[in-house]
Amino acid sequence: MKINENSKLESYLAHDARYDSMTYNRSGKSGVQLPALSIGLWHNFGFVDDINNGRAILRTAFDLGITHFDLANNYGPPAGSAEKNFGTIFKQDFKSYRDELFIATKAGYGMWPGPYGDFGSRKYLISSLDQSLKRMGLDYVDIFYHHRPDPDTPLEETMGALADIVRQGKALYVGISNYQPAETEKAAKMLKSMNVPFILHQASYSMFNRWVENGLLDTLQNNGLGCIAFSPLAQGMLTDKYLKGIPKDSRAGGDSVFLNANTVNNHIEKIQKLNTLAQERGHKLSQMAIAWILRQQQVASVLIGASSANQLKENAKALNCLEFSDTELKLIDKIIS
């Protein structure tokens, strides 16, 4: 959707103190430092959403020192609309700050009909990035990810396409997402042999989804790679939203494919116990859940979404509660086991 001229936010000038309180972590052994919190545009930035709300969220993020904006070709809905809306916001508010931003996009899911609009072929990846750059009004992205493994395309072809994308100047760095440890190891060796700056693996990670601890974090450590964690709040379960049941206007109360009522009900006792611990620490459950992920040295950043600027500010307070005692960590393990 286009910005309504009658409700347009006033001209944006970034806060002078935007770098004073944010923590920045190096991504593996690269030269890139990412904010401990990054902002994801998976939800709330499509054509079905209020673009002025999206502008307010991104302005708040940057004022908090969040320099990393994460997109993908299929974010919306509809697919492509988050990049298009971001392009509008970027032109209005962030063009003069381009060199202070670390902008990501991805390709790997279905985008257009026919055999060339999905997965991991050279044809698809290069075509998709060209479309993404046009939608966002950018000459390049800071990092371009292959969004998911392709079981049918040779890994050499996919990694070769990422290499050429860097050589063409369309991306400064590359990453992968949703790859298993063995696949990650192979990708890392291929990209290293081509002298391609591979710096990040984007993986789902939360208290309720700890798969990365079963080999992936070690693989990243051994290859000098960083991790950026998405879905840190387990689709909203690790918030105060479900403490007293399932609200009708929640994801679990609707028709979301990512969370259903049975999943919430199976976790409700754990959610309540974790919330009690968070309160004892003087924090919200969501803040504790984000901080818990950041305790891992391989995690360079936690990718959070936000439906409002105020929600983003609340979640950013996670950086005020990064310390955990051994007793607290053991209790968390006991609760979620």
According to DSSP, residue 312 is labeled H
Domain that includes residue 76, residue range: 15-239+286-324
Q: Is 112 among the domain residues?
A: yes
CB 108 within 8 A of CB 119: yes
The string over 317-329, giving b where at least 16 C-beta atoms fall within 10 Å of a residue's C-beta and e elsewhere, is ebbebeebeeeee
The position carrying tokens 């840190």 is: 232
- Structure confidence at residue 160 (pLDDT): 98
- Structure confidence at residue 261 (pLDDT): 85
Residue 89 class from Cβ within 10 Å (0-12 exposed, 13-18 middle, 19+ buried)?
Answer: buried
CATH at residue 57:
3.20.20.100
- Structure confidence at residue 7 (pLDDT): 46
- Count other C-beta atoms under 10 Å from residue 277's C-beta: 15
Instruction: Look up residue 67 and give its two tokens.
Output: 């320099």
Residues facing 40 on adjacent strands: 70
Q: Is 5 among the domain residues?
A: no
CA 230/CA 233 separation, integer angstroms? 9
The pLDDT tens digits for 103-158 are: 999 999 999 999 999 999 999 999 999 999 999 999 999 999 999 999 999 999 99
Q: Is 4 among the domain residues?
A: no
CA 80/CA 66 separation, integer angstroms? 23
CA 234/CA 236 separation, integer angstroms? 5
For residue 133, what is the enclosing H or E element? Answer: helix 122-136
CA 261/CA 258 separation, integer angstroms? 11
Q: Is the predicted pLDDT of residue 9 greater than 80, yes or no?
A: no
Using alpha carbons only, give the angle 73, 310, 80 rounded to the nearest 5 degrees. Answer: 10
The one-letter code for the residue type at 64 is L
Q: Is 268 among the domain residues?
A: no
- Structure confidence at residue 247 (pLDDT): 72
Domain count along the chain: 1
According to DSSP, residue 214 is labeled T
The pLDDT tens digits for 281-291 are: 999 999 999 99
Total residues found in the chain within this entry: 337
Q: Is 7 among the domain residues?
A: no
Q: Is 244 among the domain residues?
A: no
What average pLDDT does the chain have?
Answer: 95
The pLDDT tens digits for 92-109 are: 999 999 999 999 999 999
Nearest to 324 by CA among 299, 287, 298: 287
pTM reported for the whole predicted model:
0.94
The pLDDT tens digits for 207-265 are: 999 999 999 999 999 999 999 999 999 999 999 988 987 777 666 666 666 778 888 88
Task: Return left, alpha or beta for 10; rule: phi > 0 is left, psi -120 to 50 is alpha, else beta.
Answer: beta
Mean pLDDT, range 26-34, rounded to an integer: 98
- Structure confidence at residue 1 (pLDDT): 43
Q: Is 170 among the domain residues?
A: yes
Residues facing 89 on adjacent strands: none
Q: Is 249 among the domain residues?
A: no
At residue 6 the predicted structure's pLDDT band, cuts being 50, 70 and 90, is very low
- Count other C-beta atoms under 10 Å from residue 97's C-beta: 14
Mean pLDDT, range 291-295, rounded to an integer: 98
The pLDDT tens digits for 327-337 are: 999 999 999 99
| Positions of E strands within 148-221 | 171-177, 198-204
According to DSSP, residue 48 is labeled T
